[in-house]
Amino acid sequence: MDSINSFKGYGKVDEVEQQAFRRKTRKRLIIVVVSSVVLLAVIIGAVIGVVVHNRNNNSSSNPVPPPELTPAASLKAVCSLTWYPTSCFSSISALETGNTTDPEVLFNLSLHVAMNELSKLKDYPDKLIQSIDDATLQDALKVCATVFDDAVDRLNDSISSMAVGEGGKILSTAKMDDLKTWISTTITDQETCLDALQELNVTEHFNQALVDHVKAAMENSTEFVSNSLAIVAKILGLLSDFNIPIHRRLDLKEPITQGFHIGLV
């Protein structure tokens, strides 16, 4: 009887050991599977990293060239800086020399466009004086004649300044400051003419029709001069925004004898 019980006891022990063995086997299998998945993920990540790295290196060594900047696109970008982009674009694009992508050349052309209109305006006050008998109005128009002469001189200074240097394309900090001053003075001179006429508003000599006539005659010149001022004031920002190469960046502390060249390559 004891032998039978002993046999049954041994059977129970074997069953317990087998269950324990199966549990250990399942744990090992789970560990192996999890380890394999982790290893596979690491391998895939490494492969992807190598591919991305190589692709970035290839992109850096062989960058995609930027789209070609056409003369029309360049002129549109330059004129977008102004208060009067339509007149800026139409006046410069009408010139035979306006077929360029160089913003510095376009700025120079804007000066010539403004000078062309301002030259027409220069003799305008004298013609009006001859047709008016009122001495007070004549004096106001003489103020216009004087400031228009000064405006032409300042714009001539700007054009002459741009002509100095290699191909007329060398700018310096001092030159840019001078250009802004001269062009601003040209605008102020034209405003002074209108101020002289408007000051008669409280007198019996005031003539609104004459003021409107002078304003209309000044419209093109004031717009074109304003365009030139806006371009020279903001041209560096435009070049930076469009990633246009600046051969030597502007140094605000650079000597007057040093300059930098703005251009497209």
| 167 or 175, higher pLDDT | 175
Do residue 34 and residue 119 come from a single domain?
Answer: no
DSSP code at position 260: E
pLDDT tier, 32 (very low <50, low <70, confident <90, very high otherwise): low
Total domains in the fold of the chain: 2
Structure tokens that stand for 8 in this block: 């049954």
Least confident residue range of 43-52, 143-152, 224-233: 43-52
Cα separation, 239 vs 211, whole angstroms? 40
Neighbouring residues of 185: CB distance < 8 A, sequence distance ≥ 6: 150, 151, 154
Residue 71: the pLDDT is: 87
Cα separation, 136 vs 97, whole angstroms? 45
Do residue 8 and residue 135 come from a single domain?
Answer: no
Least confident residue range of 26-30, 35-39, 221-225, 248-252: 248-252
Domain that holds residue 81: 71-261
Q: What is the mean pLDDT of the chain?
A: 76
Do residue 128 and residue 45 come from a single domain?
Answer: no
Q: Using an 8 Å Cβ cutoff, are 228 and 208 in contact?
A: no
Rg of the chain on CA atoms, in Å = 40
89: left (phi over 0), alpha (psi -120 to 50) or beta: alpha
Write down which residue in 64, 90, 116 finishes a domain: 64
Percent share of the chain, pLDDT over 70: 61
Print burial letters for 250-265: b (CB count within 10 Å at least 16), e (below 16).
Answer: eeeeeeeeebbebbee
Do residue 213 and residue 231 come from a single domain?
Answer: yes
Cα separation, 209 vs 216, whole angstroms? 11
Do residue 109 and residue 134 come from a single domain?
Answer: yes
Cα separation, 198 vs 144, whole angstroms? 12
Average pLDDT over residues 71-77: 89
Phi/psi of residue 246, nearest 5 degrees: -110, 115
Write down which residue in 22, 46, 64 finishes a domain: 64
Element (H, E) at 168: none
Residue 61: the pLDDT is: 45
Average pLDDT over residues 34-47: 63
Do residue 172 and residue 120 come from a single domain?
Answer: yes
User: Is residue 212 pLDDT above 70, yes or no?
Assistant: yes
Least confident residue range of 1-15, 65-79, 164-178, 184-198: 1-15
Any idea what the Cα angle at residue 93 is, between residues 116 and 183, rounded to 5°? 40
pLDDT tier, 60 (very low <50, low <70, confident <90, very high otherwise): very low
CATH number at residue 156: 1.20.140.40
Do residue 38 and residue 147 come from a single domain?
Answer: no
pLDDT tier, 248 (very low <50, low <70, confident <90, very high otherwise): very low
Do residue 89 and residue 7 come from a single domain?
Answer: no
Q: Using an 8 Å Cβ cutoff, are 104 and 169 in contact?
A: yes
Do residue 46 and residue 95 come from a single domain?
Answer: no
Do residue 99 and residue 220 come from a single domain?
Answer: yes
Cα separation, 172 vs 249, whole angstroms? 10
Do residue 171 and residue 94 come from a single domain?
Answer: yes
Tally of CB atoms within 10 A around 139: 13
Write down which residue in 22, 42, 64 finishes a domain: 64
Structure tokens that stand for 178 in this block: 């001078």
Average pLDDT over residues 72-87: 92
Do residue 112 and residue 239 come from a single domain?
Answer: yes
Residue 115: the pLDDT is: 96
Average pLDDT over residues 130-142: 93
pLDDT tier, 252 (very low <50, low <70, confident <90, very high otherwise): very low
pLDDT tier, 245 (very low <50, low <70, confident <90, very high otherwise): low
Neighbouring residues of 81: CB distance < 8 A, sequence distance ≥ 6: 230, 231, 233, 234, 235, 238
Coil, strand or helix at 211: helix
Coil, strand or helix at 67: coil
Cα separation, 146 vs 149, whole angstroms? 5
pLDDT tier, 262 (very low <50, low <70, confident <90, very high otherwise): very low
